[in-house]
Amino acid sequence: MRFPLALTMKIASHIVKHKVRKTPKFAMVLQLEPLHTCNLTCTGCGRIREYSTNLKDMVPLEKCLAVAMECEAPMVSICGGEPLIYPKIEELIAGLLDQGRVLYICTNGVFMRKKMRDYLAAIYTAETEPTLKKLVEEKLISEKEADAIRNANDAARKKVVIRPTKWMYWNVHVDGLEFTHDLIVEREGVFKECVEAIKMAKICGYQVATNTTVYKETDVQELEDMFKYLSSLEVDGHTISPGYEYDAAKKDMVSRLGKQPEDFFLTRKMTRQKFAKIEQWGKMFTIFGTPVYQEFLAGKRELTCTAWAIPTYNVKGWKAPCYLMTDGHYPGYQEMLTKVEWEKYGVVNGIARDPRCENCMVHCGYDPSGALGTNYQRGDNWKNFAYNFGAKPKPFPASPELVKTAFNGVTIGKGHLAEAKAVLNSPRAAMNGAQATFRQEAATNQHEAHVGSHCGTGDTSERDELLAKIKDVKK
Ligand code: SF4
Ligand code: SF4
């Protein structure tokens, strides 16, 4: 089977239950954002720019558990911000699993290995030794870390930890191969860390998924290479979605300057071009998402947005109308369902009901439409059934060539900062202070990436200042 039977049955029975009851709108996946603090400042991340990233602004654990009960979604995607920074993340995961939810921990991967070392320390017995040995051999933990696991104190052994279970996936953010991914997350070394975390997770028995956003600049061949590489690591599934790039300023430029939208953002037409091979990828790799949604992405059919099926809860409440756009926050899920004028959103028969929806084809708006039978066409149920119950694609064969293709950035000295470093090493750069700024930035980044003790605020001013100085030097 492509996906675990227990998971498929849980989701199918949830849909059937609501269809029988004729519930007009219900939740399929809760996007739970317990905090918006993050250790990275990815280009295009709306969260760290829209919301406060202060660690004080968090949804309390009890409230997180209560909102999951309230909306009754069978699946919960814990996102943020970086959810592994949430101080009660272990308790939150344990509580949601107790409620019988299927969990996706959407993470940038940087703190995953630390959380898995905590798990190994809590469960350590002589039987854990072969796992530790393998992790050391593969350089996924150091000898010192292995010893710390062996000699864990009582507190570490009693700690609530994130354990492998068939009901949970690590869902690692990977937007391309090494060069591209590090560029998008604006830090060199993050792709490598993600790969090491994925390898460690598989050795420890966790399920691992990845999630990828496709941008205007995304190269389709690179996406396919990325899936091949991730598949060779035996990743259990992949979510892929077009980026949402509505921006008032861009829209304004279109109307005032007469520029084409294609110059600025991913239009529906461009999304369909980028996703032309999605159905083929669905056969080669374990792509999450219904075949109906895949047909929609490939431009073969229309769907109506069902954003109410993937509601978002964060520090301000239930976010409406969707994960991407904010027209308001509501204290209750049912209240949001009742008060939001859903017919004002989405694209119907090619006409955008809200101009901001015009180019949106994101999975959190349209993937549930495929599962829920919106715009049902004859044969859809069979397609969904055949996809879910069909054979799982075999892992792509691992090879040195594939590894070479994947590590095309900082590993081979071609990281996105290489050019900046070269410029900054020039005598002219020394004169205007750019080197000092760069060194300060690099030292901070190194500390964050390897020690993980500092949470970024989302403030990009230092980086912007650095880039301005580099530009000056280049003139
Ligand atoms: S990892 Fe990147 S995309 Fe995710 S919350 Fe942090 S800054 Fe945003
Ligand atoms: S079409 Fe996209 S932007 Fe519009 S409401 Fe649906 S998910 Fe949100």
Domain extent listing, the chain: 5-389, 417-474
| Mean pLDDT, residues 114-135 taken together | 98
Cα–Cα distance for residue pair 393/269, rounded to 1 Å: 29
pLDDT of residue 469: 55
Helix pair angle (129-137, 190-204), 10° resolution:
150
**Helix or strand run (H / E) with residue 118:** helix 112-123
Q: What is the dihedral of CA 196, 198, 201, 207, to 10 degrees?
A: 180
Q: What is the pLDDT of residue 317?
A: 97
pLDDT surpasses 70 at 76:
yes
pLDDT category at 463 given cuts 50, 70, 90 is very low
Ligand showing the shortest atom-to-Cα distance for residue 213: 1
For residues 336 and 318, the answer to whether their CB atoms sit within 8 Å is yes
pLDDT surpassing 60 at residue 436? no
Locate 127 and state its tokens. Answer: 């039987």
pLDDT at 86 over 90: yes
Rounded percentage of the chain residues whose pLDDT exceeds 70: 84
Contacts of 156 (CB under 8 A, 6+ apart): 118, 121, 122
Q: Rounding to the nearest 10 degrees, give the CA dihedral for residues 250, 51, 212, 79.
A: -160
> How far is the centre of ligand 2, averaged over its atoms, from the C-alpha of 382 (Å)?
27
What is the per-residue pLDDT across 141-163, written as a single tens digit (0 to 9) for each? 999 999 999 999 999 999 999 99
Rounded mean pLDDT of 322-346? 95
What's the CA-to-centroid distance between 171 and ligand 2, angstroms? 22
Pairing relation of β-strands 351-352 and 347-348? antiparallel
Q: Which atom of ligand 2 is nearest to the CA of 347?
A: 1
Question: Tokens 């999450």 belong to which residue?
Answer: 288
pLDDT in the model for residue 376: 85
Q: Looking at residues 278-290, what average pLDDT do you find?
A: 93
Q: Is the pLDDT assigned to residue 341 strictly greater than 60?
A: yes
Of all protein residues, the one whose alpha carbon is nearest to atom 1 of ligand 1 is: 108
Q: Count other C-beta atoms under 10 Å from residue 154's C-beta.
A: 7
- Cα separation of 191 and 364, whole Å? 25
**Percentage above 90 pLDDT, the chain:** 64
Helical ranges in 354-395 per DSSP H: 363-372, 380-389
How close is the Cα of 38 to the center of ligand 1, in Å?
A: 6
**What was the pLDDT predicted at 465?**
53
- Predicted local confidence at residue 53, as pLDDT: 78
More confident residue, 337 or 427: 337
Closest CA to 163 of 118, 207, 119: 119
Does this model's pTM top 0.85? My answer is yes
- Asked if 304 contacts 373 with a C-beta cutoff of 8 angstroms, the reply is no
Is 274's pLDDT higher than 70?
yes
- For the cut 70, the answer to whether the pLDDT of residue 467 exceeds it is no
pLDDT band at 432 (very low <50, low <70, confident <90, very high): low
- Sheet strand arrangement including 237-242: 237-242, 207-214, 168-173, 102-107, 75-78, 29-32, 312-314, 317-321, 326-330
Residue 348 confidence class, pLDDT cut points 50, 70, 90: confident
Report the residue among 25, 353, 362 best suited for mutation to probe ligand 2: largest number of ligand atoms under 8 A from its CB.
362
pLDDT at 245: 67
Residue 442 pLDDT level (bands cut at 50, 70, 90): very low
Give the least confident one: 23-37, 251-265, 428-442, 456-470: 456-470
For residues 171-191, average pLDDT = 93
Looking at per-residue pLDDT, the higher value among 416 and 177 belongs to 177
Most confidently modeled range among 7-11, 126-130, 289-293, 412-416: 126-130
Distance 36 CA to ligand 1 centre (A): 9
- Residue whose C-alpha is closest to residue 51's, from 261, 378, 316: 316
Task: Give pLDDT, residue 435.
Answer: 54
- pLDDT score for 51: 83
Among the listed ranges 87-101, 121-135, 255-269, 341-355, which one has the minimum average pLDDT value? Answer: 255-269
- Give the pairing of strands 347-348 and 207-214: unpaired
Which amino acid makes up residue 62? E
Taking 90 as the threshold, does the pLDDT of residue 402 lie above it? yes
Q: Which ligand is nearest to the CA of 356?
A: 2
Q: Which of 415, 421, 461, 458 is nearest to 192 (CA)?
A: 415
Supply angle C-alpha 285, 102, 307, rounded to 5.
80
Residue type present at position 459 = D
The pLDDT assigned to 235 comes to 97
Per-range mean pLDDT, top range of 50-64, 93-107, 253-267:
93-107
Residue type, 328: G
Residue 474 pLDDT level (bands cut at 50, 70, 90): low
The class (CATH top level) of 5-389 is alpha beta
Mean pLDDT, the chain, rounded, equals: 87
Sort residue 381 into left (φ over 0), alpha (ψ -120 to 50) or beta: alpha
- Greater pLDDT, 470 or 213: 213
Considering every ligand atom, which ligand is closest to the CA of 352?
A: 2
What is the pLDDT, as a whole number, of residue 459? Answer: 42
Asked which of 103-107, 182-186, 399-403 is least confident by mean pLDDT, the reply is: 182-186
pLDDT of residue 47: 79
Average pLDDT for residues 156-179, to the nearest whole number? 96
CA of residue 110 to ligand 2 center, whole Å = 30
Residue list, ligand 1 pocket, CB within 6 Å: 38, 40-42, 45, 47-48, 80-82, 108, 173, 185
Structure confidence at residue 14 (pLDDT): 94
- More confident position, 90 or 472: 90
pLDDT of 101 higher than 90: yes
362 Cβ closer than 6 Å to some ligand 2 atom: yes
Question: From ligand 1's centre to the CA of 179, what distance in Å?
Answer: 17
Average pLDDT for 259-283: 84
Residue keyed to tokens 């200042």 = 465
pLDDT at 74: 96
